[in-house]
Amino acid sequence: MKSFRDKMLEVRPEIAVREAEFRDKIDLAMELRALRDTANLSQEQIATLSELSLGDVQTCESLTGDMPAPEDVAAYRSTVHAYKSTG
C-alpha cells in the first residue's frame, strides 16, 4: 500500500523538487519544532524567553525560504534547553 506521500508525489512530482531544494531547511525546521514540542512550548513562549521576534521563531520553523541566521538558531536551541532543565 502506498503512503500518502508517495501518492502525492505521483500527482505532484514538483513537490520532490522542492523537497530537494529545501532539504537542509526542512531538516532544521523539523529538528527545532521537535525540540519545542518536547519542551511543550509555544512559538510565542520561545520568542519571549529567547528575546527573538515571533517572526524569527517562525522563520526557524518554516519548511521553506531562507535559512535563519545562525545566532537565531543558537538562541532558539539554548532557550529550549534552558527551559527543559528548569521546567
Question: Per residue in 19-63, pLDDT tens?
Answer: 788 889 999 999 999 999 999 999 999 999 999 999 999 999 998
How many whole angstroms separate alpha carbon 66 and alpha carbon 53?
16
Q: Determine the structural domain holding residue 81 and report its residue range.
A: 4-86
How many whole angstroms separate alpha carbon 10 and alpha carbon 39?
36
Residue 32: is it exposed, middle or buried by C-beta count within 10 angstroms (0-12/13-18/19+)? buried
Provide the CATH number for the domain around residue 12.
1.10.260
What are the residues whose beta carbons fall under 8 Å from the beta carbon of 60, sequence distance 6 or more?
28, 29, 32, 52, 68, 72, 73, 76
Model pTM score: 0.78
Q: How many domains does the chain have?
A: 1
